[in-house]
Amino acid sequence: MSDVSAVTSDPATNGEGTRRSRPAILVVDDEPAVLAAVARDLRRGFGERHRILRAGSGAEALEILRELRTRGDQVALLIADQRMPGMAGTAYLVEARKLFPEARRVLLTAYADTEAAIAAINEVALDFYLLKPWDPPEEQLYPVLEDLLTTWEAGAALEAGGLRVIGHRFSKDSHDLRDFLARNRVPARWLDVERDAEARALLKVTGVADDRLPVALLEDGTVLERPTVLELAERVGGLTVTPAEEHYDLVIVGGGPAGLAAAVYGASEGLRTIMVERQAPGGQAGQSSRIENYLGFPVGLSGSDLARRGTDQARRLGAELLTVRDAVALRVEGAGRIVELSGGATLSASCVLVASGVSYNQMTAPGFPELTGAGVYYGAAMTEARACERQQVVVIGGANSAGQAAVHFAGFANKVTMLVRSTVARSMSHYLIEQLAALPNVEILEGTEAVAVHADAGRLRHLDVRHADGTVAPMEVDACFVFIGAAPRTDWLAGTVARDELGFILAGPVVREHGWPLQRDPALLETSVPGVYVAGDVRARSIKRVASAVGEGSMAVSLMHEYLAGA
C-alpha cells in the first residue's frame, strides 16, 4: 500500500504562520516488513525535518512523485530497494530522476547486488548504496543520510534565497554576479529580464531602467544598480571581506583544494590561519561538475560540494576565510612576511602558503574576447547549465575538465559537441572517455579547432571550425565553454619568489640555485623565500590532481611547524 494520502496530510507551519509542506523522503520496498522497518528508522532519525512517505512498488512511488510535483512540493531523498518485481530499483530511480532531478538517490541492496549498485552509480547518478541490514542505524544509516540531506538542503537554500538578481543572460556583468553568488553559495534567485515576467514587474516597481542592469534586490529592500562583485559581497551576509586581525601565523593565498586543506590543518593544529580567495573557495576544481577519482567518494562529488565541505570544515576549526580579495604583492620584512591585497589592505604573517592555482587560458581567435560572458565561458560555468536546456553546446578542449563539463551539459542540452585539437586519449582519463562514448547526444570531433565566433544582437550564434583536413565550416551554437590549458597566477610574486620560464613557482632543493639565503636546505615545498611555501597546481612540475593538491596543502602545514620551531 502506498502513502499517496500522506501527500496531502502532513503540513507544517513556517515562522510567518503560513502552511507549507516539509521536504519529503520517499522510500520504496516490495516487502511490507522491510518497508515498515525502514520508514520507522527514517521517522526516528529525520521525522522532525522531513515527511516520510512510502510505497510498495516503483509504479506506486512514481504516482506519489507526480502528485508531489503537481502540488509544487519538494523531495529531498529517494530510497529504493533494488530487487522489486515489475520495476527494479535502478529502473525506478531513472524515472524518478526525471521528476525530481535534484533529489538525492539511494539504493538498498543485498551483498549479492553490489555489482548492480556500482553499475547504477553511472546509470542513475546514484548518490549512495546501502547494504542491508544496517544495524544499528545510528552508525550505519543516519550518518550517510544526514550527509546527503545536508547537501540537498544547501542546494535548496540557494534556490530559495531572498536576494534577487535581475539581468540579461548574455551579459558579462550579469554572468559575473551570478557566478560569484553561485560559487560562494550565497542564496539568491536569478531572474532573466527577457524570460521572466517577475523580472519585468520588479523593474517597474523599483523604477530601474534596462540600461542599469544587472540589478540586485537585497533582502532588506536595498536596490543595487550595476553593482561590482566586491560591492555585492560587502552587502550580502556570510562573506568576510576584511581581516579580523593584523598578524597571523599562516596566510594562505588561494582557496582551491590545496588552500582549503592547509586551512583545515593549520587551524586544527592551533595556527592563527587566514585564507584569501579572489573569487570563491574551490578554485578551478570548484567549477568541476563531477570529480569521480577522488579517494573515498565512490559515487563522485561535484567541485561545488567539495568546496562547501572544505569551507565548512575550515571555518568550524577556526580558520578565517577572506573573500573577493586578491594578493597583489609579497614583501619580506625581517621575520615577517607581508601580503599586500587589492584595495590597499595588508596581511602580516609568520608563514605564507601560495596556493593561488591557475587560470584558464583565453582564446584569442576573432570574436572570443568580445563574447566572453555573452555565450563564451571559461571553465564549466555551472550557473549556465540550466539555461542550456534544449540548446546546442560546444566544449573546446580534451582534458578531464572538458570531459566532465561535457558529461554534465549533456544532461541539459540537445547536443554537446567537443572540439579537440588532438585526441581525447592523450589527456583524458579512461573512465571519462567511456562515459562520453555512452552518451547519445555527445559528439567528439578530434583534430578540430575553433578559429572564430560570430554574434547576433550581442550574443553568440555560431563559430567557425577548422577540421583535420584543413576545411573550415560554420557550426550553430548557443553556448561555448573553453578549457584550453591554464597559466599560473603568479605575476604578483615577480622579483620576490623564484619561478620557472612559464611562471610556475620553484620549490625544494632546486631553489638553492635561485637565491636561497640560508645555510640549511630548503624544505620540500619551500620557495626561494624562507617561510613561504607553495602547494597545488601553481607549483612547478606539480601533479594536476585534486588528491595531490590536498596532500601538498596538508604537508605544507607540517613543514611550517618545523620552520616556526626553528625561527
In this prediction, residue 199 carries a pLDDT of 92
Domain boundaries for CATH 3.40.30.10 within the chain:
161-235
**In this structure, are residues 67 and 4 in contact, taking their beta carbons and an 8 Å threshold?**
yes
Residue 185: CB partners within 8 Å, gap ≥ 6? 154, 158, 304, 308
Is pTM, for the whole model, over 0.75? yes
**In this structure, are residues 540 and 506 in contact, taking their beta carbons and an 8 Å threshold?**
yes
Where does 4-158 sit in CATH, by number? 3.40.50.2300
pLDDT at 567 over 70: no
State mean pLDDT over 339-367: 94
Fold classification of 161-235 (topology level): Glutaredoxin (3.40.30)
Q: Which CATH superfamily is domain 247-359+531-566 in?
A: FAD/NAD(P)-binding domain (3.50.50.60)
CA gap 82, 132 in Å, rounded? 11
Give residue-wise pLDDT tens across range 46-83: 999 999 999 999 999 999 999 999 888 999 999 999 88
Domain boundaries for CATH 3.40.50.2300 within the chain:
4-158
In this prediction, residue 538 carries a pLDDT of 97
What's the burial of 541, exposed, middle or buried (CB within 10 Å: 0-12/13-18/19+)?
Answer: exposed
C-alpha cell at 521: 636546505
Number of H helices, E strands in the chain: 15, 28
Give residue-wise pLDDT tens across range 204-253: 989 999 899 999 999 888 999 999 998 999 888 778 888 999 899 999 99
Q: Which helix (DSSP H) or strand (DSSP E) does residue 458 occupy?
A: none
C-alpha cell at 514: 635561485
Query: Beta-strand (E) ranges in 257-361?
Result: 273-277, 320-323, 327-333, 336-341, 346-354, 358-360
Give residue-wise pLDDT tens across range 280-327: 888 888 878 778 888 888 878 888 889 989 999 999 999 999 988 899
Domain boundaries for CATH 3.50.50.60 within the chain:
247-359+531-566, 368-484
pLDDT at 458 over 50: yes
**CATH architecture under which domain 368-484 falls:** 3-Layer(bba) Sandwich (3.50)
Give residue-wise pLDDT tens across range 487-525: 999 999 999 999 999 999 999 999 999 999 999 999 999
Q: Concatenated DSSP letters for 354-408?
A: E---EEEPPP-STTHHHHBTTTEEES--GGGTGGGTTSEEEEE--SHHHHHHHHH
Residue with cell 532519525: 45
Tell how far CA 122 is from the center of its chain: 19
